[in-house]
């Protein structure tokens, strides 16, 4: 081993070939079989060094062992481990087009990110990409994938609360993108940008902008500029919320459909809108058209074309509200090829499922008008545990319910009761229960020998009539309290049960058909006539006998 020293310039060489130190080195150590051993010590021994020189190098043997140097001053030492990435770090560089200033790659086949960022701040951002060019269409962060099912950029914000973002991109460029994702694969379910959140109130992708929060373009014939898919129960494919005055939750413009929604779930909504303001005239879903033959809102469904529900239990809400300013327009018009043209439902007591209001004080207008072109169809059809159709008129000469039949053999008002103890048409009035004012037959009942079998004569009609009695009586308060004349249904039922209707207990009568006393009275008159004819014949015979005796 040779120790060579050059005293004039204070250089030292340690080697086995007697070579001189390099001109640039104060100490030149050369060996092919040995190394350099730096002083070794523990963390406590390192910290005990008095006034360590800046740049002093040691090897620490415990607590994250490795080479450390003092990057501080002797009075305020700061020990830094060699190879440690010091944060915060900031640098800049330039590169030729389509090259990289900084690139990291990974060769692992499974999920192993080349760059992985974590932030523990509530509003922190793990990775930020920013393009500050105001002239070019630069990109803050660009991700590319050529793998089927791959992701150009994937970001996860796993914090269950707070305002965290999986990926946040910002650009100041006039046409730049804060985040742009590009999927180069022509097949498979790929994504330019895909966002996912584990928070129940989080957003997979959240966009904020002066003009567009999220903006999408599609170049294919059947592409989707913006597509939302929701697989969770009671979830929403696309949700739009506008909180500022005169703002719009979801705005759609298109040459065919402005907004088009599809839901595959049994309880899903193709399009769902919520106006969250508690005051003002706002709309959950609002549709408007400038075409004379267009539709503001148009719904087609195998069951319900358009369905409206008024959920308020305190306000005078309406399931469906329609207004028209046209002389021949319709406030609400529904068409269904199979189901219901318009259906309205309300959960509030005393409120209408469908409510129509004609505000004009003159002319022949309609609150609700129904029309059917089918020969067996119904213009307006009502179904209810109490009233199928209920009408109120406030004018002195008004009609609560009016039925008009303009065709030969048609019916103005038609009532059908199919259940036991039910009533086809029910009328109550303080003046008339029923009033007939037309030139036609006042009352008609179906009757034809074609429809009747087992026809038998009424036996002993006079005895049956004799068993009946007519009475004067006063109705109780629940039934009007007026003085009246009639019969006792329970008494009639013992003689002619066919014309009496009983309650479910089979004992108490609910009513009787006075018109069906007519056959009994007819047969009674015929029986009286037969008796009268017999008595008349006997009288004539007696008169002849008397006349003959007088002559003798």
Give the Cα separation of 242 and 274 in Å (integer). 9
DSSP reduced 3-state for 180: strand
pLDDT tens, per residue, the chain with 552 residues: 555 555 555 788 888 888 888 888 888 889 888 888 999 999 999 999 999 999 999 999 998 999 999 999 999 999 999 987 677 777 777 777 777 777 777 666 666 666 777 777 666 666 666 666 666 556 666 666 666 656 666 666 666 566 666 666 665 656 656 666 666 667 766 666 666 666 666 666 666 666 666 666 666 666 666 666 666 666 666 566 666 666 666 566 666 666 666 666 666 666 666 666 677 776 666 667 677 776 666 666 666 666 666 666 676 666 666 666 666 666 666 665 666 666 666 666 766 666 666 667 777 777 666 667 777 777 667 666 776 677 777 777 777 777 777 777 777 777 777 777 677 777 777 777 777 777 777 777 888 999 999 999 999 999 999 999 999 999 999 888 899 999 999 999 999 999 999 998 999 999 999 999 999 999 999 999 999 999 999 999 898 888 887 776
Supply the pLDDT for residue 487: 96
Supply the pLDDT for residue 322: 64
Domain made up of 455-552: CATH architecture: Orthogonal Bundle (1.10)
| Spatial CB neighbours of 46, under 8 Å, sequence gap ≥ 6 | 58, 60, 68, 79
From the CB of residue 127, how many other CB atoms can be counted at a distance below 10 Å? 17
Please state whether beta strands 11-15 and 27-29 pair in parallel, antiparallel, or not at all (unpaired).
parallel
Give the Cα separation of 33 and 17 in Å (integer). 13
Give the Cα separation of 72 and 325 in Å (integer). 83
Residue ranges covered by each domain of the chain: 2-81, 100-133+148-209, 455-552
**What ranges in 459-504 are assigned the alpha helix state H?**
461-466, 489-495
Q: Which helix or strand (DSSP H or E) is residue 195 part of?
A: strand 194-197
- Give the rounded distance of the alpha carbon of 67 from its chain centre: 64
Tokens for 180? 């742009």
Q: Which helix or strand (DSSP H or E) is residue 512 part of?
A: strand 509-512
Give the Cα separation of 205 and 230 in Å (integer). 13
Please state whether beta strands 307-310 and 79-81 pair in parallel, antiparallel, or not at all (unpaired).
unpaired
Burial code (b: 16+ CB inside 10 Å, e: under 16) for 451-477 equals eeeeeeeeeebeebbeeeeeeeeeeee
Q: What is the pTM of this model?
A: 0.38
């Amino acid at each position: 081993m040779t120790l060579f020293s050059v005293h004039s310039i204070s250089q030292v060489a340690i080697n086995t070939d007697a070579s001189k130190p390099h001109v640039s080195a104060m100490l030149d150590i050369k060996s092919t079989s040995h190394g350099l051993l730096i002083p070794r010590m523990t963390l406590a021994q390192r910290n005990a060094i008095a006034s360590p020189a800046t740049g002093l190098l040691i090897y620490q043997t415990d607590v994250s062992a490795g080479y450390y140097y003092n990057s501080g001053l002797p009075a305020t030492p700061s020990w830094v481990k060699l190879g440690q990435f010091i944060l915060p770090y900031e640098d800049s560089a330039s590169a030729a087009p389509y090259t990289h200033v900084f690139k990291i790659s990974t060769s692992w086949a499974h999920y192993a990110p080349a760059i992985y960022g974590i932030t523990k701040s509530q509003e922190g951002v793990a990775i930020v990409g920013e393009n500050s060019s105001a002239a070019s269409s630069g990109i803050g962060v660009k991700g590319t994938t050529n793998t089927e099912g791959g992701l150009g950029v994937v970001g996860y914000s796993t914090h269950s609360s707070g305002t965290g973002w999986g990926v946040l991109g910002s650009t100041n460029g006039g046409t730049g993108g804060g985040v742009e994702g590009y999927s180069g694969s022509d097949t498979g379910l790929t994504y330019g940008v895909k966002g996912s959140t584990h928070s129940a109130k989080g957003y997979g992708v959240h966009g904020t902008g002066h003009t567009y929060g999220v903006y999408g373009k599609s170049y294919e014939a059947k592409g989707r500029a913006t597509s939302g898919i929701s697989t969770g129960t009671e979830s929403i494919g696309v949700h739009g919320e506008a909180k500022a005055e005169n703002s719009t939750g979801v705005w759609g413009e298109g040459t065919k459909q402005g907004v088009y929604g599809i839901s595959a779930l049994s309880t899903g909504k193709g399009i769902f809108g919520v106006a969250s303001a508690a005051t003002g005239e706002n709309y959950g879903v609002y549709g408007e058209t400038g075409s004379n033959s267009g539709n503001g809102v148009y719904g087609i469904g195998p069951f319900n074309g358009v369905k409206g529900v008024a959920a308020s239990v305190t306000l005078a809400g309406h399931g469906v509200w329609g207004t028209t300013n046209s002389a021949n327009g319709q406030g609400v018009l529904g068409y269904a090829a199979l189901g219901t043209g318009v259906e309205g439902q309300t959960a509030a007591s005393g409120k209408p499922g469908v409510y129509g209001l004609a505000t004009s004080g003159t002319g022949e207008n309609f609150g609700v008008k129904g029309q059917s072109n089918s020969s067996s169809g119904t213009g307006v059809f009502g179904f209810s545990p109490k009233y199928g159709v209920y009408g109120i008129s406030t004018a002195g000469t008004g009609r609560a319910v009016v039925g008009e039949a303009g065709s030969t053999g048609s019916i103005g008002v038609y009532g059908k009761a199919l259940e036991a103890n039910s009533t086809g048409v029910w009328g109550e009035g303080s003046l008339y229960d029923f009033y007939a004012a037309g030139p036609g037959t006042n009352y008609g009942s179906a009757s034809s020998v074609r429809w009747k079998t087992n026809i038998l004569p009424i036996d002993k009609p006079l005895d049956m009539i004799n068993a009946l009695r007519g009475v004067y009586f006063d109705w109780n308060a629940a039934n009007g309290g007026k003085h009246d004349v009639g019969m006792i249904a329970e008494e009639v039922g013992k003689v002619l049960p066919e014309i009496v209707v009983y309650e479910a207990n089979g004992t108490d009568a609910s009513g009787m058909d006075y018109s069906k006393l007519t056959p009994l009275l007819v047969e009674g008159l015929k029986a009286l006539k037969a008796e009268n004819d017999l008595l008349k014949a006997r009288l004539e015979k007696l008169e002849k006998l008397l006349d003959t005796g007088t002559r003798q």
